[in-house]
Structure 1
Amino acid sequence: MVAIGFHASHEQHSPRELLAAVRLAEAVGFDEAMCSDHLAPWTRAQGHSGHAWSWLGAALASTTMPFGLVTAPGQRYHPVIAAQAIGTLAQMFPDRFWAALGSGEALNEHVTGDGWPDKPRRQRRLRESADAIRGLLAGERVDVSGEIVVHDARVWSRPEAPVPLVGAAVSAETAAWVADWADGLITVGADPEGTAEVLARYRDAGGRGPARLQVHVSLGRTDDEALAVARDQWAHCGVPAELMWELENPEDYERLAEVTDEALHQDVVISASASAMADRIAALAEGFDHVYIHHVGKDQATFLRRCENELLPALRRAL
């Protein structure tokens, strides 16, 4: 049975608003939740970016659901600090926390002043970080001298059971690459062929563990309203794909985004019909073990009430 999760977008809502949203998400019937880990929003219209790790402690303490996040160790977070944060949350909330590791975006990482590496170097850095974090969580003393530097590090407060370290991949090529080290896969998409290819490449490369899918949606009272919400809040999806990981500021995304209806529909499931949206999500999630729904609009409470009465029942029938 596919677990249905709620995605908490730190870029778009204050930490207090998001805490209320995940409590409501559990109350209306979501099975689990995940969140982003940004230092800056994609655009100024989104307007927020709270500290995900601080928030996760409160969110886990305020609910009974499992949680995860997508994070990028290696630059903004030294992998030893990332391992300590993961270990602390998992020790406090056994079997309720997972972390997905990705290579990151300059939007969040450039603030350290270090140069932004090219993709091959970012992948080497991510692999070194993932290996270091896994060793630290297992109680090992870790030294690394490569794309990252770790000197005789240990994490002293650790969970009793291993924490899943999931590989984050947008492309099929990256999915095949993370298969070598990850305990599972997470990807994002609104195209069934694309999500199927990412999952297939991960499995074909020997990828193990659960597969997770994040889906951006905009559910409105009318199709036009749903499209307008997506245009306001998810305009950065119109940035050329090769630049998505390279830009440093929200203003850069606003300047380069070509916000067409086609671009929005390629990135976001947009509809006024909860049943039609459920069918689209079910088609995207075929073969996945978890699906996380992210409503890109600001009004999370109205969306969640429609989930309770319309979207979640329809989605559970469709999955």
Structure 2
Amino acid sequence: MRLIFGSNGYQAPVATFGFHSSHEQVHPSALLAAVQRAEQAGFGFAMSSDHFSPWSARQGQSAFAWSWLGAALQATSLPFGVVNAPGQRYHPAIIAQAIGTLGAMYPGRFWAALGTGENSNEHITGGVWPRKDVRNARLRECVDVIRALLAGEEVSHDGLVTVDRARVWTLPPEPPPLIGAATSTATARWCAEWADGLITTNAPAEHLREMVDAYRGAGGRGPLRLQVHLSWAPDEATAEAIALEQWRSNVFPPPVCWDIDHVDTFDIVSEKVGIDVVRGVVNVSADLGRHAALLAEYAELGFDEIALHHVGQEQDAWIDAFGAKVLPELAA
């Protein structure tokens, strides 16, 4: 976050606005072209999802994020992050190796946000989907394992995850930041114990303010990041249609979104969801000024980096529109 000093000495926060790469919705080749276009349009960073399955059959994709991240870091000069859930689908030693390799190849440009995941991705290994308190404990073990490996240590560990004499041999000059992913104030406070920053998703301003206060109040360090779901089109009806078609399976709060185990179930339970419900989780508007105003409000809450996720599958038009109108307005 930059600070702009006015004539009265007031320090106005200026967040950096980035591009969210949604692998569940866009083919990786098209997504690579989109993130290159976003950099040219003025977006300041990028982040990536990491799913095995989409949230709806209508989304229709789910590429392997770590292969794509290497290509995207090479094809752009942007800083990148990824949201990852170690402990079940991924062994933490493998994630440490992946983080270490990208950090070594692109020093200072990569961060990883770590969370407890969703059953829709993790069930593929055939393991039992644990209770949330067990998933939290497992993640905490994974964080310690990953940090030790990125520090060059040989690690053995017996607990909710098992590690036997692991060592990551290719290491970056400095370990990339490990960010805490949270949607509740309780998790935000817990992340403050171990994270190098916090990331959450858009929500009513009061809840976001409580998230910031919970993390900072518990001693949380590092930058605050926000992922914002939005839908834009030149007319309101199209913006609504895009949001409803692509994102109505993503409206369910925890624990529902954590515990549903299959894409078909998401499509069944979201069949009757209407646009009013979708508007509760997606900023839907044809008005670029309205989008700019909402993003400015998020920045004023204290978020340093804000990743924009247009929930449509076609990315070019909104990237160009936001690059031409929204980003300059926010910078001004």
Q: TM-score, normalised by structure 1?
A: 0.97
Where do residues 104-183 of structure 1 align in structure 2 (5 Å cutoff)?
104-183=117-196
User: Given the alignment, which residue of 282, 305, 318 partners 2:320?
Assistant: 305
Query: In the alignment, what sits opposite 1:290?
Result: 305
Identity among equivalent positions (%) equals 50
8 Å contact kept, 2:55–2:250: no
| CA deviations over 1:264-312 (Å, ceiling 9, x no partner) | 1110111001111110122123201100000001110011110121121
* Letter of the 1:155 counterpart: V
Q: Does 1:279 align with 2:290?
A: no
Query: Residue 50 of structure 2 aligns with which residue?
Result: 37
- Please state whether the residue corresponding to 1:70 is helix, strand or coil: strand
Say which SS state the counterpart of residue 151 (structure 1) adopts.
strand
1:152 CA drift (Å): 1.2
Aligned position for 2:28: 15
Partner of 1:212: 225
Query: How far apart are residue 103 of structure 1 and its match?
Result: 0.3
Once residues 38 and 185 of structure 1 are traced to their aligned partners in structure 2, the CA distance between those partners, rounded to angstroms, is 20
Within 5 A, what are the aligned runs for 1:185-224? 185-224=198-237
Cα distance, 1:193 vs structure 2: 1.4
Equivalence for 1:225: 238
Q: In the alignment, is the contact (CA less than 8 A) between 1:213 and 1:288 conserved in 2?
A: yes
Aligned residues of 1:222 and 1:272 also touching (Cα < 8 A): yes
Which residue in the other structure is 2:252 paired with?
239
Query: Match of 1:109, SS?
Result: helix
* CA distance in structure 2 between the aligned counterparts of 1:228 and 1:190, rounded to whole angstroms: 21
Q: 2:99 maps to what in 1?
A: 86
CA distance in 2, matches of 1:143, 1:37: 26
Which residue matches 1:261? 275
Report the CA distance between 1:259 and its aligned residue. Answer: 1.5
Please show how residues 64-75 of structure 1 align to structure 2 within 5 Å: 64-75=77-88
Deviation per residue, 1:162-208 (Å, 9 max, x gap) = 21000000111111111100000000013211211111111111110
Partner of 2:329: 314
Structure 1 contact 215–294 (Cα < 8 Å) conserved: yes
Q: Quote the offset at 1:316 in angstroms.
A: 2.3
Cα deviation, residue 315, structure 1: 2.5
| Count of residues paired in the alignment | 317
Q: CA deviation at 1:240?
A: 4.9
Distance between the aligned counterparts of 1:153 and 1:16, measured in 2? Answer: 34
Deviations 1:197-227 (A, max 9, x none): 1111111111100010010000111122111
* 2:60 aligned counterpart, secondary structure: coil
SS in 2 for 1:98: strand
* Closer/same/farther in 2, CA of residues 263 and 241 from structure 1, 3 Å limit: farther
CA distance in 1, matches of 2:269, 2:296: 32
Q: Distance in 2 between matches of 1:241 and 1:80?
A: 28
Distance 1:102 1:92 in 2: 24
RMSD of aligned residue pairs (Cα, Å): 1.0
CA deviations over 1:32-78 (Å, ceiling 9, x no partner): 10010000000001000000000000000000010000000001110
Q: Is 1:274–1:314's contact at 8 Å kept on the other side of the alignment?
A: no
- Measured in 2, the distance between the counterparts of 1:108 and 1:202 equals 27
CA distance in 2, matches of 1:261, 1:196: 26
